[in-house]
Amino acid sequence: MTFPLLPAMMLILFGLCLSHLALSQPPSYGDLSAETQVVGERYMQAYIARDWDVLADFVAESATFSDPTATMVFGQVLQQGKSAMMANFRSGYASITHMQFHPQRTFFAGDRAVFEGTLDWDLTLQNDAVVRTRAMPFVTILTVTDGKVQEHTDYADYQPFLDAYQAANP
């Protein structure tokens, strides 16, 4: 008994296996960096604009937000999960009336987006005093996975904020 179509079928299956392998290869460093740049820039624009509805579209369900440099000023800043992150942004940033980021350097390396610059921001206190912080050194590092921000970590030198706070509350 012969199977004349068997060699042809094996070639087709082999071809399908090869095409599957080609399709399942991880993206190149350049392709991943480019995807990270698109997501990172859109996310950062929404973050600085405090546009939480737009920002939420870029946040992974298991995302985390932290700022280890804020601990001595605001206490521990760590949210785990999209809902906790978004609740923190919506309530914790509600008194911020202005944010402007002045980038000095940005780069996109694989799944990381790094934004370095200074931040100007205004915070209205409960007594209606306004703390106007200017030129605060600020770094945001994002980790992007599958088109969503998985980790958002801020680092800042809060001394300009503390100085502005003291000036607004003599």
Could you read off the pLDDT of 39-56 as tens digits, one per residue? 999 999 999 999 999 999
Q: How many residues does the chain have?
A: 170
- What's the whole-model pTM score? 0.84
CATH code of the region 28-168? 3.10.450.50
Q: Average pLDDT over the chain, rounded to whole? A: 90
Contact of 39 with 149, CB cutoff 8 Å: yes
**Model pLDDT for residues 46-98, shown as the tens digit of each residue:** 999 999 999 999 999 999 999 999 999 999 999 999 999 999 999 999 999 99
3-class state of residue 114 by DSSP: strand
Residue spans per domain, the chain: 28-168
Confidence grade of residue 26 (pLDDT, cut at 50, 70, 90): confident
